[in-house]
């Protein structure tokens, strides 16, 4: 599995939002995009998934040029988007149900995932009865149940408090390390990017360009107190601050 998004360009209302963005991801990698708020990160994902068209560039997936990745990848947006009238288990089974693949094996797999995410005791509860962290874990389990090799995650932990967010980062790490998935994620949290990623793309302010590509090159699990970690964090924050100041 390999994804190449090359020279992606997009205008909205006549104004450039993406200006020649190129991102690559290899099988089993965890790649993260960071950038100033409103720089076009989510627009880039929307182009990839086919929620909006691009004005130029190309997307190549598994060696084949495609119009977009719709149906080829699993996409988790910022909010959990659990259906309030379905139990947690029925929410997790949504992908296989849409695909017409519900059987005893799939049900067993869903229950195994609920156990991994420590949700097995809440399978018959409804979203309104769950905490924010539990709902995000359920959304991650649902994303895995789509059975795709590549997961696109758009700030999946952004709505959580700092303590819950830190707890859930270990589950994000498991997506590639335990489940063997390739992950492309957007986050505004530089520490989170450094904790999880093999490679980080730093986007510029609007219109988005790739300002820098960082090969993190640190063994996992990582410590936020590590000297190299702190150096990279300061470098990235400095570049983002410069982009914000230049764009103001």
Tell me what pLDDT residue 247 has: 61
* Boundary residue ending a domain (120, 147, 174): 147
- Reported as a single tens digit per residue, the pLDDT across 213-225 is 999 999 998 999 9
* Boundary residue ending a domain (147, 170, 190): 147
Tell me what pLDDT residue 248 has: 52
- Reported as a single tens digit per residue, the pLDDT across 177-189 is 999 999 999 999 9
Q: Domain limits at 128?
A: 82-147
* Boundary residue ending a domain (106, 128, 147): 147
For the chain, the domain total comes to 2
For residue 56, which phi and psi values (nearest 5 degrees)?
180, 165
Instruction: Please indicate, yes or no, whether residues 174 and 243 belong to a single structural domain of this protein.
Output: yes
Instruction: Please indicate, yes or no, whether residues 18 and 125 belong to a single structural domain of this protein.
Output: no
Instruction: Please indicate, yes or no, whether residues 96 and 55 belong to a single structural domain of this protein.
Output: no
Query: Treating both helix axes as pointing N-terminal to C-terminal, what angle do 104-116 and 132-145 enclose, rounded to 10 degrees?
Result: 140
End-to-end CA gap in the chain:
39
Instruction: Please indicate, yes or no, whether residues 68 and 175 belong to a single structural domain of this protein.
Output: yes
At residue 96, does pLDDT exceed 60? yes
Cβ atoms within 10 A of the Cβ of 86, count?
A: 15
Instruction: Please indicate, yes or no, whether residues 130 and 224 belong to a single structural domain of this protein.
Output: no
Element (H or E) spanning 5, and its range?
strand 2-12
Helices (H) and strands (E) in the chain, counts: 8, 10
pTM: 0.94
Instruction: Please indicate, yes or no, whether residues 172 and 232 belong to a single structural domain of this protein.
Output: yes
């Amino acid at each position: 599995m390999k994804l190449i998004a090359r020279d992606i360009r997009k205008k909205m209302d006549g104004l450039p939002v993406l200006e020649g963005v190129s991102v690559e991801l290899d099988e089993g990698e965890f790649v993260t995009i960071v950038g100033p708020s409103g720089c076009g990160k989510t627009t880039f994902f929307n182009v990839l998934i086919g929620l909006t068209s691009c004005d130029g560039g190309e997307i190549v997936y598994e060696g084949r040029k495609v119009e977009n990745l719709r149906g080829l990848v699993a996409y988790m947006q910022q909010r959990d988007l659990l259906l309030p009238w379905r139990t947690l288990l029925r929410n997790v089974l949504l992908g296989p149900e849409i695909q017409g693949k519900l059987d005893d094996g799939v049900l067993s797999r869903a229950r195994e995932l609920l156990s991994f995410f420590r949700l097995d005791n809440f399978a018959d509860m409804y979203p309104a009865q769950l905490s924010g962290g539990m709902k995000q874990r359920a959304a991650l389990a649902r994303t895995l149940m789509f059975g795709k090799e590549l997961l696109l995650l758009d700030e999946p932990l952004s709505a959580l408090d700092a303590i819950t967010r830190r707890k859930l980062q270990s589950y994000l790490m498991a997506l590639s390390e335990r489940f063997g998935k390739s992950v492309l994620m957007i986050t505004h949290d530089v520490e989170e990017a450094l904790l999880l990623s093999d490679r980080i793309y730093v986007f510029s302010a609007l219109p988005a360009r790739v300002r820098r590509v960082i090969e993190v090159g640190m063994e996992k699990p990582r410590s936020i107190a590590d000297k190299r970690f702190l150096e990279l964090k300061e470098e990235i924050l400095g570049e983002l601050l410069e982009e914000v100041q230049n764009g103001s």
